[in-house]
């Protein structure tokens, strides 16, 4: 036979449990608050880094989009009249040549194969 035991101490000393809860609150509350503050600071830091990266990407795109127009004659000269030595790639849609403009800027020129149906 099993006898249910009840602690006389718990019944006669209910203030002990409320003290325990109070101590737990004094420990847990600062931990939760400090964890939340740290989380928010890290979140703000990550967002600022992403924003800086985004603005750098916008600058790069703007720089790329402000390219100069070049005549076919300049492209021929830059690639040495599309010399095979300057051929750097061949694909389904055409050929890619490397070249150097008279300003010294290195460029890649794609010559499309208009007879290919995949273009």
Q: Is residue 29 part of a domain?
A: yes
Domain with 96 in it: what CATH number?
3.30.200.20
Domain count, the chain: 2
Domain carrying residue 95: 72-112
Q: Is residue 94 part of a domain?
A: yes
Those residues with Cβ within 8 angstroms of residue 108's Cβ, 6 or more apart along the chain or in another chain: 88, 96, 97, 98, 99
Residues 44 and 25 in one domain: yes
Residues 61 and 27 in one domain: yes
Q: What is the pLDDT of residue 119?
A: 45
Residues 77 and 61 in one domain: no
Q: Is residue 117 part of a domain?
A: no
Instruction: Report pLDDT digits (tens) over 1-30.
Output: 556 565 555 555 556 667 777 878 888 888
Q: Is residue 118 part of a domain?
A: no
Q: What is the pTM of this model?
A: 0.44
88 vs 18: which has the higher pLDDT? 88
Is 110 annotated in a binding site? The answer is yes
Residue keyed to tokens 């890649």: 108
- In angstroms, rounded to a whole number, what is the distance separating the alpha carbons of residues 68 and 53? 26
């Amino acid at each position: 036979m099993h006898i249910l035991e009840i602690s006389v101490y718990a019944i006669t000393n209910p203030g002990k449990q409320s003290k325990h809860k109070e101590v737990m609150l004094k420990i847990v509350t600062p931990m939760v608050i400090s964890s939340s503050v740290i989380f928010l600071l890290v979140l703000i830091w990550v967002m600022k880094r992403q924003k800086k990266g985004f603005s750098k990407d916008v600058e790069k795109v703007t720089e790329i989009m402000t390219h100069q127009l070049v005549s076919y004659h300049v492209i021929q000269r830059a690639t040495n009249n599309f010399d095979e030595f300057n051929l750097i790639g061949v694909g389904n849609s055409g050929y890619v040549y490397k070249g150097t403009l008279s300003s010294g800027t290195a460029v890649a020129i794609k010559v499309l194969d208009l007879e290919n149906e995949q273009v």
